């Protein structure tokens, strides 16, 4: 028979024998028999019928016992020197990673060498799979010994013992070999509480998220609006890799936000309410029973030993339940104890209302702060531009700084002073970079040391790095007298004294041996039991010597030596000719010599063997003891890491400031009553100088002595959106403490940047663009203050011309007359500009261009100039973009017809609404307000009065509307318009 035929026959036999063997893999059900798609289906478990267990070999039984409990993970099963994947997992390995498939066993299989486990696990994890690692708990020799020693009773397995070692998932990695990115990776549990039938009421969120590589837990809780603004902000800031939610617990809106903001590889874990996603009470019980945070003293309150941040939310049902979901999940991955016991808990506030410049999720994404809107990568983002940190923990801190730029002028000033010092005084940054750029990820390793899963070589590196850190900080401090600001000196001053801790470890054990052999040999005095055992060993040494002397004397010969042969140590070796006492036991002999144990010697050897065993055991344990000793001071180590991270961020700001090219300037903050933003000669910082050296700078002047708002027109592609964006990015940079790519930058600190850009993005989110525009703008109208910056790019584009126009008009009117914020408003509605012609709060500007109508050529000048650009020159741009001439001609005709129709329709609708041409919604509101004011002169609220008191000193004569105000000039303007409108009635 040919080789091929033989193979075919073998395969046929295999298939015959195995048909139906795995039929339960064809119709998959969970352990409770729920089919896939059922609301109760639990993807973690697998139903395996009783009949199947009887057909399994011992090995298969072992595999399916584990796989059945971890069905949603790819199981890497250790077999000898390989990790093997079976059945569906083997298919994945074969199809996705091209691993060679074999079916020699009863199961389809692929395998990888044990040495490449980390590589392959990382590949699977990167594709979004969970990886379960199953290891052998004994060697083949161990198994043989177990069986020989009679431990193999009938029930004991006849295969090598194997156990689940760990489950690795993208959002919960702790092992440095698998962590490929310096940035933090988060796993987030989300609890959402909506009251049935009360959708209009705010939604409550409880959130718990952890960066498993540093064991840092964060807890957040807030009430959110219908749009889930805070939730979206949090998600954009944190970008979890993995989410843990309650089955059926998330609203459609929140799910949409998650799906839109997170990548396709995000892992979703749906837990059963209560049983898995614990409620608040169960969570508290579990935390207490497991004593994650230390033992409770009898009689003390259960939460006494909890970290402060956790204690502060212990009565918050939503957060505690979210933490419950997270802990349950971490427990299923066997990570709960090592992570929680680090006690690294923080309270997280996505919008630090009082102290920072709020950048909500929309703004972060519209301004491309963390990811660009093209391919979703970091290229061209503000983060990429500014984050020039050299340490992993610095990079992570910088991202957090960028989520929350500062608001108080003094805090911003302090940062800017430091940045300026660093730019001015040479040496500091160079030294910092030279030393710290080589630091390993101390923050992560410190948490690994706590978990006891750090290699001894890593531990040595940590010790020597902290030593370098102490020396470097001392050298860095010597620069501080040249600095004008106190900031850097005070940061350095906060460094805890690590010398004593480090000296302890320097003296505790032999670093050279540890480095070379991985053994901890403690110096005398550092480990009592080791010293005591050493004494026993030394004693035994002399006893052996004495015994040899005694034997020599008794047998009257000097020609006796000790001889070690394998396990038989300290045998007495002597010539065959010598006669020995009968009680001696001969162990081996050759033609010329014989070896013996005397009874006394045998006892000594046993003692020696025991003492050596003890020594080994102590040495193994010493590693754990050293780590625990190190862990006692984890707060100091982490504090030192934080200080380096902070210095790194300041250096990064300084480097980014220098790299802006020219002109660039230090922003000047003023605390004026009226908000002001003066940007002269501003460029978009993400446009790299050199490559686009023809970028045209522009001046943006808002507030102060000029109008608060600019209504911006201009041709398509004329640079409107770019101007809007660069203005906001400049504000972010300034409040972060960075220089700005402008000739001059003067501003009052902003409390929040609102952005509404384009009308394309949310189509994916399944909401009508009109709805999105309305709800977002109404949010801006209700939340913006005099200190806010608002940019609205082509508001109203997402709907019919009339509706869009009406929205655009009323919003701008509201912003101008009532809110008093600063803002830029771009529009294609040329006629909108007529409405605001005489509004002192709205400056009409446009992006200049030159048009050659004959050739349909537009030359963009990208210059912001006064006045209105009536047309958007869409057809010219289309022509320039290469659309064929006849199509453009036809389109132009259509457009003119359409425009005419729309104009007529608009006028008709306006006439019908009020019977008058010029009365708009805004004006009706104005009238209502003015009438209300005349009718009720003294209804000012306490807040108003307070504001009035403050205003008095400035001699500023204003009228109050709620917490807002109109200047006399604005009021006159409103009156004029109303009179004009009434005249035409
Ligand atoms: N100040 C500038 N200097 C040089 N090039 C610029 C400048 N501003 C914008 N550009 C270039 O013009 C292109 C179009 O800019 P932008 O998208 O801001 O125009 P727009 O007016 O918003 O267009 P649309 O009306 O189609 O939305 C940009 O991609 C950029 O390359
Ligand atoms: Mg645009």
- Reference 432, options 398, 475, 401, 463; nearest CA is 475
pLDDT mean across residues, the chain:
84
252 φ, ψ (degrees, to nearest 5): -60, -40
- Measuring from each residue's beta carbon to the nearest atom of ligand 1, which residues come in under 6 Å? 695-696, 714, 716-722, 862
How many whole angstroms separate alpha carbon 759 and alpha carbon 765? 12
Q: Which residue has the higher pLDDT, 693 or 414?
A: 414
Grade residue 758 by pLDDT with cuts at 50, 70 and 90. Answer: low
- Per-residue pLDDT at 930 exceeds 60: no
- Reference 861, options 980, 615, 695; nearest CA is 695
Domain-embedded: residue 371: no
Other residues' Cβ atoms within 10 Å of the Cβ of residue 454:
21
pLDDT digits (tens, 9 = 90+) for 776-801: 778 888 889 999 999 998 876 655 56
Distance 189 CA to ligand 2 centre (A): 37
Of 350, 384, 409, which residue is a domain's last?
350
Q: Which residue has the higher pLDDT, 200 or 168?
A: 168
pLDDT at 179: 82
What is the average per-residue pLDDT within 541-558? 91
pLDDT at 931: 46
Grade residue 14 by pLDDT with cuts at 50, 70 and 90. Answer: low
Position in ligand 1 atom list of the atom nearest CA 863: 1
Provide the CATH number for the domain around residue 340: 3.30.420.110
pLDDT at 787: 94
How many whole angstroms separate alpha carbon 321 and alpha carbon 279? 5
Are residues 137 and 201 both part of a single domain?
A: no
Other residues' Cβ atoms within 10 Å of the Cβ of residue 930:
17
- Per-residue pLDDT at 633 exceeds 90: yes
- Reference 595, options 586, 583, 604; nearest CA is 586
Of 105, 133, 168, which residue is a domain's last?
168
Ligand 1 atom 31: residue of nearest CA: 719
Rounded to a whole number of angstroms, the distance between the first and last alpha carbons of the chain is 106
How many whole angstroms separate alpha carbon 184 and alpha carbon 172? 11
Q: Where are the alpha helices (DSSP H) in 68-193?
A: 87-97, 117-126, 140-148
pLDDT digits (tens, 9 = 90+) for 237-263: 999 999 999 999 999 989 999 998 888
From the number of C-beta atoms within 10 Å of its C-beta (0-12, 13-18, 19+), residue 696 rates as middle
Of 350, 383, 400, which residue is a domain's last?
350
| Best residue among 686, 718, 797, 874 to mutate for probing ligand 1, ranked by most atoms within 8 Å of CB | 718
pLDDT at 200: 73
Q: Which residue has the higher pLDDT, 323 or 835?
A: 323
Domain-embedded: residue 317: yes
How many whole angstroms separate alpha carbon 961 and alpha carbon 608? 92
pLDDT digits (tens, 9 = 90+) for 580-632: 888 899 988 899 999 999 999 999 999 999 999 888 889 888 999 999 999 99
DSSP conformational letter for 172: S
From the number of C-beta atoms within 10 Å of its C-beta (0-12, 13-18, 19+), residue 624 rates as exposed
pLDDT digits (tens, 9 = 90+) for 367-402: 999 998 888 888 889 999 999 999 999 999 999 999
Domain-embedded: residue 397: no
Distance 873 CA to ligand 2 centre (A): 13
Q: Which residue has the higher pLDDT, 16 or 813?
A: 813
Are residues 133 and 59 both part of a single domain?
A: yes
pLDDT at 471: 95
pLDDT digits (tens, 9 = 90+) for 468-488: 999 999 999 999 999 999 999
Grade residue 219 by pLDDT with cuts at 50, 70 and 90. Answer: very high
Q: Considering only 142-151, 260-269, 908-917, which range has the smallest mean pLDDT? A: 908-917
Give Cα 130 to chain centroid, integer Å: 19
Position in ligand 1 atom list of the atom nearest CA 724: 18
- Reference 105, options 17, 2, 1, 4; nearest CA is 17
Residue whose structure tokens are 């990548």: 263
Q: Going along 584-663, which residue ranges are E strands?
A: 585-589, 593-597
DSSP conformational letter for 525: T
Are residues 282 and 202 both part of a single domain?
A: yes
DSSP conformational letter for 520: -
481: its two tokens: 């007298």
How many whole angstroms separate alpha carbon 595 and alpha carbon 593? 7
Are residues 68 and 129 both part of a single domain?
A: yes
Distance 861 CA to ligand 1 centre (A): 10
The tally of domains found in the chain comes to: 5
- Asked whether the CA dihedral 64, 70, 73, 76 is positive or negative, the reply is negative
- Per-residue pLDDT at 501 exceeds 70: yes
Q: Which residues contact 941 (CB under 8 A, 6 or more apart)?
A: 962, 963
Domain-embedded: residue 401: no
Quote the percentage of the chain above a pLDDT of 70: 83
Are residues 849 and 967 both part of a single domain?
A: no
Other residues' Cβ atoms within 10 Å of the Cβ of residue 902:
14
- Left (φ > 0), alpha (ψ -120 to 50) or beta: where does 908 sit? alpha
Domain-embedded: residue 842: yes
What is the average per-residue pLDDT within 758-785? 66
pLDDT at 900: 74
Which residue segment(s) compose the domain that 597 sits in? 528-618
Q: Which residues contact 518 (CB under 8 A, 6 or more apart)?
A: 456, 457
Q: Is 374 helix (H, G, I), strand (E, B) or coil?
A: coil
- Reference 745, options 682, 685, 660, 667; nearest CA is 667
What is the average per-residue pLDDT within 909-925? 48
535: its two tokens: 């004494």
Are residues 211 and 162 both part of a single domain?
A: no
Q: Which residues contact 200 (CB under 8 A, 6 or more apart)?
A: 226
The H or E element containing residue 570 is strand 568-575
Are residues 210 and 79 both part of a single domain?
A: no
Domain-embedded: residue 379: no
Grade residue 764 by pLDDT with cuts at 50, 70 and 90. Answer: very low
Distance 809 CA to ligand 2 centre (A): 19
Grade residue 722 by pLDDT with cuts at 50, 70 and 90. Answer: very high
Domain-embedded: residue 869: yes
How many whole angstroms separate alpha carbon 445 and alpha carbon 228? 36
Query: Which of 873-884 are b and which e, b meaning 16 or more Cβ less than 10 Å from the residue's Cβ?
Result: bbbbbbbbeeee
Are residues 164 and 191 both part of a single domain?
A: no
Provide the CATH number for the domain around residue 532: 1.10.1420.10
Ligand 1 atom 5: residue of nearest CA: 695
pLDDT at 15: 67
Grade residue 932 by pLDDT with cuts at 50, 70 and 90. Answer: very low
pLDDT at 566: 81
Listed residues: CB within 5 A of ion ligand 2: 721
Residue whose structure tokens are 């066997």: 334
What is the average per-residue pLDDT within 833-843? 86
Domain-embedded: residue 662: no
Are residues 596 and 697 both part of a single domain?
A: no
pLDDT at 9: 75
Q: Which ligand is nearest to the CA of 793?
A: 2
Are residues 568 and 704 both part of a single domain?
A: no
- Per-residue pLDDT at 211 exceeds 50: yes
Distance 715 CA to ligand 1 centre (A): 10
Are residues 144 and 194 both part of a single domain?
A: no
Q: Is 741 helix (H, G, I), strand (E, B) or coil?
A: coil
Distance 718 CA to ligand 1 centre (A): 5
Ligand 1 atom 15: residue of nearest CA: 719
Are residues 293 and 201 both part of a single domain?
A: yes
Position in ligand 1 atom list of the atom nearest CA 716: 25
């Amino acid at each position: 028979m040919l080789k091929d035929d033989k193979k075919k026959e073998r395969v046929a036999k295999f298939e015959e024998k195995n048909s139906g063997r795995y039929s339960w893999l064809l119709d998959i059900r969970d352990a409770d028999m729920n089919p896939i798609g059922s609301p109760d289906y639990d993807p973690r478990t697998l139903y395996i019928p009783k009949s199947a267990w009887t057909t399994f070999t011992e090995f298969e039984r072992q595999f399916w016992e584990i796989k059945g409990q971890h069905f949603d993970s790819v199981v890497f099963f250790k077999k000898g020197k390989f990790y093997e994947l079976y059945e569906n997992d083997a298919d994945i390995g074969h199809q996705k990673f091209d691993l060679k498939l074999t079916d020699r066993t009863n199961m389809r299989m692929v395998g990888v060498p044990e040495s490449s486990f980390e590589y392959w696990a990382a590949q699977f994890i990167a594709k979004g799979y969970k990886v379960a690692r199953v290891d052998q708990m004994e060697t083949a020799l161990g198994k043989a010994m177990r069986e020989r020693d009679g431990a193999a009773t009938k029930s004991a397995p006849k295969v090598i013992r194997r156990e689940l070692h760990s489950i690795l998932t993208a959002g919960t990695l702790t092992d440095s070999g698998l962590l490929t990115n310096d940035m933090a990776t988060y796993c987030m549990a989300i609890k959402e509480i909506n009251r049935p039938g009360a959708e209009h009421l705010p939604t409550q969120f409880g959130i718990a998220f952890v960066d498993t590589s540093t064991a840092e837990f964060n807890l957040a809780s807030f009430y959110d609006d219908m749009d889930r603004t805070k939730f979206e902000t949090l998600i954009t800031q944190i970008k979890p890799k993995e989410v843990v939610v309650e089955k059926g617990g998330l609203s459609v809106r929140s799910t949409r936000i998650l799906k839109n903001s997170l990548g396709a590889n995000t892992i979703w874990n749906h837990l059963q309410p209560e049983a898995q996603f614990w409620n608040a009470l169960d969570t508290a019980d579990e935390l207490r029973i497991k004593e994650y945070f230390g033992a409770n003293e009898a009689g003390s309150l259960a939460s006494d030993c909890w970290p402060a941040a956790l204690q502060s939310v212990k009565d918050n049902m939503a957060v505690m339940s979210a933490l419950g979901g997270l802990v349950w999940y971490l427990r299923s991955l066997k990570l709960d104890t090592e992570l929680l016991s680090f006690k690294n808990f923080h309270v997280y506030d996505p919008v630090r209302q009082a102290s920072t410049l709020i950048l909500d999720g929309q703004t972060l994404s519209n301004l491309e702060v963390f990811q660009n809107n093209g391919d979703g990568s970091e290229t061209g983002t503000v983060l990429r531009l500014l984050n020039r940190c050299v340490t992993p923990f610095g990079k992570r801190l910088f991202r957090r700084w960028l989520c929350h730029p500062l608001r108080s002028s003094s805090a911003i000033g302090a940062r800017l002073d430091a940045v300026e010092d660093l730019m001015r005084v040479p040496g500091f940054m160079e030294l910092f970079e030279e030393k710290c750029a080589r630091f390993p990820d101390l923050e992560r390793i410190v948490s690994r040391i706590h978990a006891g899963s750090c290699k001894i070589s890593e531990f040595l590196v940590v010790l020597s790095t902290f030593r370098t850190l102490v020396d470097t900080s001392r050298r860095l401090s010597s620069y501080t007298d040249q600095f004008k600001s106190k900031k850097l000196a005070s940061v350095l001053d906060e460094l805890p004294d690590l010398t004593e801790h480090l000296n302890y470890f320097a003296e505790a054990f032999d670093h050279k041996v540890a480095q070379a052999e991985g053994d901890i040999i403690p110096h005398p005095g550092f480990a009592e039991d080791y010293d005591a055992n050493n004494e026993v060993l030394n004693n035994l040494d002399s006893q052996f010597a004495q015994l040899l002397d005694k034997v020599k004397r008794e047998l009257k010969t000097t020609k006796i030596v000790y001889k070690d042969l394998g396990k038989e140590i300290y045998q007495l070796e002597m010539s065959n000719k010598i006669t020995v006492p009968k009680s001696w036991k001969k162990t081996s002999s050759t033609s010329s010599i014989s070896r013996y144990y005397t009874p006394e010697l045998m006892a000594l050897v046993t003692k020696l063997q025991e003492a050596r065993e003890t020594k080994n055991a102590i040495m193994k344990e010493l590693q754990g003891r050293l780590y625990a000793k190190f862990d006692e001071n984890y707060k100091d180590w982490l504090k030192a890491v934080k200080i380096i991270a902070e210095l790194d961020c300041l250096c990064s700001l300084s480097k980014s400031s220098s790299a802006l090219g020219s002109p660039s300037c230090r922003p000047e903050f003023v605390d004026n009553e009226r908000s002001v933003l003066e940007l002269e000669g501003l460029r978009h910082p993400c446009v790299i100088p050199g490559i686009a050296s023809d970028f045209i700078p522009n001046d943006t002047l808002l507030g102060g002595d000029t109008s608060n708002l600019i209504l911006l027109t201009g041709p398509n592609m004329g640079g409107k959106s770019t101007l809007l964006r660069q203005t906001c990015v400049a504000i972010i940079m300034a409040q972060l403490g960075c220089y700005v790519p402008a000739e001059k930058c003067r501003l009052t600190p902003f409390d929040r940047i609102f952005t509404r850009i384009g009308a394309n993005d949310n189509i994916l989110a399944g909401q009508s663009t009109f709805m999105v525009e309305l709800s977002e703008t109404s949010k801006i109208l209700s939340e913006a203050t005099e200190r806010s910056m608002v940019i609205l790019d082509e508001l109203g584009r997402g709907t019919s011309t009339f509706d869009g126009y009406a929205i655009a008009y009323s919003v701008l009117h509201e912003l101008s007359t009532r809110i008093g914020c600063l803002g830029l408003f771009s529009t294609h509605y040329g006629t909108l500009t007529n409405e605001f012609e005489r509004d002192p709060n709205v400056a009409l500007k446009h992006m200049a261009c030159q048009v050659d109508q004959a050739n349909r050529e537009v030359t963009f000048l990208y210059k912001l100039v006064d006045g209105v650009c009536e047309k958007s020159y869409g057809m010219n741009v289309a022509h320039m973009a290469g659309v064929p001439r006849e199509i453009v001609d036809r389109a132009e005709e259509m457009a003119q017809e359409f425009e005419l129709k729309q104009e007529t329709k608009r006028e008709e609708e306006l006439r019908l609404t009020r019977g008058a041409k010029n009365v708009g919604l805004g004006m009706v509101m104005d009238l209502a307000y003015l009438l209300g004011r005349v009718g009720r002169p003294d209804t000012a609220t306490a807040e108003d009065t307070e504001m009035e008191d403050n205003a008095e000193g400035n001699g500023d004569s204003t009228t109050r509307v709620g917490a807002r105000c109109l200047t006399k000039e604005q009021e006159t303007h409103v009156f004029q318009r109303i009179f004009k409108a009434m005249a035409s009635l």
